[in-house]
Amino acid sequence: MRRASFLWAALALAACSALAQAPKPATPAAPGTAAKAIFAGGCFWCVEHDFDKVPGVVSTTSGYIGGTVAKPTYEQVSAKTTGHAEAVEIVFDPARVSYEQLLATYWRSIDPTTKDRQFCDSGSPYRSAIFALDETQLAAARKSLQALEKSKPFKEPIVTEIVAATAFYPAEEYHQDYAAKNPVRYQFYRSRCGRDARLAELWGLSAR
């Protein structure tokens, strides 16, 4: 389901709201301490918003990865012809949060049981995937998957991809910090998409 259908409906709600929030401030990291991670979990607005809450995360960037076209547009990716997934590049401070901790957050913020789909969004752009930036991340991701297979509170198999990262292309500016800049539309989309309800069903979590 395309997010556009939700957004038009949300305009009426947005007109009734006086909420005007500035983009989230970046927390500066000391030189040489920042590291990166790239996760795909369906709508990048939601993935970005979830990781913005994690202490030690310096910044998040919505974008596209895993496809065959250089510098794709949102329209191209949404047409499901380029092979890209919506994803988020996370810059984090390893002294405050480890890659393994980010993996734990990632697993519990997605539905790892659905192929080429996350919640109400379907198609390859919305697949769940961990894009490892080096062999250390690749090993850590595989180890976390093995542990999750043993401890998961649901019976369905996990189908999330774990692959080496390819070129990451930042999405258009209007997608960046979407939840902060458009809080009413974002909450309307997230609620109607059933993301938090499904997460609670899978993981026993309260709504995010």
Active site residues: 43
Query: In the 8-state DSSP scheme, what is residue 186?
Result: H
Of the candidates 5, 21, 37, which has an alpha carbon nearest to the alpha carbon of residue 188? 5
Kind and range of the H or E element at 120? none
**Would you say 40 and 127 are in contact if contact means Cβ atoms under 8 Å apart?**
yes
Coarse DSSP helix, strand, coil percentages of the chain, rounded to the nearest 5 percent: 40, 20, 40
* Cα distance between residue 132 and residue 153, in whole Å: 25
Chain position carrying tokens 């794709």:
72
Ordered strands of the 57-65 beta sheet: 161-164, 128-132, 35-41, 85-92, 57-65, 168-170
Q: Chain centroid to CA 105: how far?
A: 11
Residue 92 phi/psi, 5-degree rounding, is -140, 160
Kind and range of the H or E element at 135? helix 135-151
